[in-house]
């Protein structure tokens, strides 16, 4: 959530910043509504003061033996007028709150200008895309050839955009997760195991609600429960409503969870294979940081995710997302895009975002300033370290061989019982 003081005092600068995201903010309309709120609040406070004064006058008149009926009628009339003013004030305040809840974060000044992913800025490349003496198969064909990926069975038991993994492919997927967790824990991250179900307050805190409710899987009412779209939600909300001591920062967490997304806004995209599924798994990195350190934390998180791809021997590039492509809560986002031979292009495998104090304000997450002793808003950062399903896709495609087998990257072999190659007919 944006700073309400900034919205009140300089709505035009907010409108200009949000325009870089392609978001239209009616600054004049917001200011008019805010002026109306102030007027109603002053009116309600004035009526309350007058009512209190007349109520005291009733007490004095009663003690003096005077007729208090006219005074009581006047107070009753004031009470009704006060109730109307309060009701109108609540309505206007709710309108303002709805507007504020729907405003995305302000992009950092360093964010490139642009409308969509075509305008993202490529920062650097790492590794060389593999050169095959044969036509590269996509991950679906590779996985089916190894009897390891089975979408039809998943469709039978659940529906579209799910996959059953079997045998060494399922083991490879598990190996990727274990390797990533071990790598990040070894880099001073604290592993956490969190619920896969959260309440609406948590989703509001990280910005998924109210705007993106259609992309969520909600459990049956009346329970206020949702399946998590990412571990960012439960892990970030661990500090919701808390005041963290400054010397404990940064808090660095890593969590492996399944993720559940309805993908309501992605109809028709990536319908084949595991690129865009309703259920997938990620190893998520979360940093809870002092504002002065959040940029450094952002770069460190990016490096952590890059080290995973480098260890897996996967060519990738780092992209600085433009204003029109960054997510709702993000102030700045770096994407890691891995090379997929079947598509002859780079595809996202990790997004690493600094939300500044946007989520912290929604969550009420603060640290105690050691100089003043006062609580101040934290900065929160999140990113994949990396998405396990997409990492599996990349390994199958980039390490495939002409006979349909797949080389297991060296770092994964200890997690695979020493298996170096997954071959057709293996288990």
Which residues are annotated as catalytic? 261, 276, 348, 351, 390
Distances (CA, A) of 333 to 76, 221, 298, 327: 57, 35, 9, 8
CB 90 within 8 A of CB 302: no
Q: Which residues pair with 289 in a beta bridge?
A: 379
Strand-pair category, 421-422 with 164-165: unpaired
CB 416 within 8 A of CB 408: yes
Instruction: Write down the residue that tokens 């001073």 correspond to.
Output: 188
- Distance separating alpha carbons of residues 311 and 183, to the nearest angstrom: 10
Instruction: Write down the residue that tokens 């929604």 correspond to.
Output: 362
CB 364 within 8 A of CB 145: no
Length reported for the chain = 427
Number of H helices, E strands in the chain: 12, 17
CB 339 within 8 A of CB 314: yes
Count of C-beta atoms within a 10 Å radius of residue 270: 13
Q: Which of 366, 288, 353 is nearest to 108 (CA)?
A: 353
- Distance separating alpha carbons of residues 309 and 98, to the nearest angstrom: 41
Q: Which two tokens stand for residue 190?
A: 């604290």
Helices (H), 65-186: 69-102, 139-145, 151-157, 167-185
CB 291 within 8 A of CB 157: no
Q: Which two tokens stand for residue 123?
A: 């920062």
Residue 385's H or E segment, with its range, is strand 379-387
What φ, ψ does residue 37 adopt, rounded to 5°? -60, -45
Burial of 364 (0-12, 13-18, 19+ CB in 10 A): middle
């Amino acid at each position: 959530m944006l700073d309400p003081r900034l919205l009140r005092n300089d709505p035009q600068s907010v409108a200009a910043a949000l325009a870089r995201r392609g978001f239209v903010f009616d600054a004049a309309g917001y200011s008019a509504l805010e002026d109306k709120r102030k007027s109603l609040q002053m009116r309600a406070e004035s009526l309350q003061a007058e009512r209190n004064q007349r109520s005291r006058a009733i007490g004095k008149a009663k003690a003096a033996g005077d007729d208090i009926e006219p005074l009581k009628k006047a107070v009753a009339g004031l009470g009704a007028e006060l109730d109307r003013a309060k009701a109108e004030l609540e309505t206007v305040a709710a309108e303002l709150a709805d507007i504020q809840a729907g405003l995305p974060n302000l992009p950092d000044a360093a964010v490139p200008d642009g409308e969509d992913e075509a305008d993202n800025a490529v920062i650097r490349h790492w590794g060389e895309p593999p050169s095959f003496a044969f036509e590269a198969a996509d991950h679906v064909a590779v996985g089916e050839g190894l009897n390891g990926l089975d979408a039809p069975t998943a469709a039978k038991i659940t529906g579209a955009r799910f996959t059953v993994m079997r045998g060494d492919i399922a083991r490879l997927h598990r190996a990727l997760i274990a390797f990533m967790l071990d790598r990040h824990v070894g880099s001073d991250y604290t592993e956490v195991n969190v619920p896969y179900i959260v309440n609406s307050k948590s989703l509001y805190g990280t910005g998924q609600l109210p705007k993106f409710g259609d992309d969520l899987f909600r459990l049956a009412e009346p329970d206020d429960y949702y399946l998590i779209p990412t571990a960012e939600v439960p892990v970030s909300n661990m500090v919701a409503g808390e005041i963290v001591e400054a010397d404990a920062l940064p808090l660095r967490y890593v969590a492996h969870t399944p993720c559940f997304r309805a993908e309501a806004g992605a109809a028709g995209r990536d319908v084949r294979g595991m690129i865009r599924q309703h259920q997938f798994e990620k190893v998520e990195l979360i940093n809870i940081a002092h504002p002065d350190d959040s940029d450094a934390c952002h770069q460190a998180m990016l490096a952590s995710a890059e080290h995973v791809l480098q260890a897996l021997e996967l060519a990738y590039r780092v992209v600085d997302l433009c204003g029109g492509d960054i997510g709702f809560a993000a102030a700045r986002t770096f994407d890691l895009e891995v090379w997929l031979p079947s598509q002859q292009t780079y595809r996202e495998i990790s997004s690493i975002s600094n939300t500044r104090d946007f989520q912290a304000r929604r969550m009420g997450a603060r640290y105690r300033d050691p100089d003043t002793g006062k609580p101040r808003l934290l900065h929160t950062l999140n990113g994949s370290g990396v998405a396990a399903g997409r990492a599996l896709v990349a390994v199958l495609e980039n390490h495939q061989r002409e006979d349909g087998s797949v080389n297991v990257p060296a770092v994964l072999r200890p997690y695979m019982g020493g298996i170096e190659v997954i071959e057709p007919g293996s288990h």
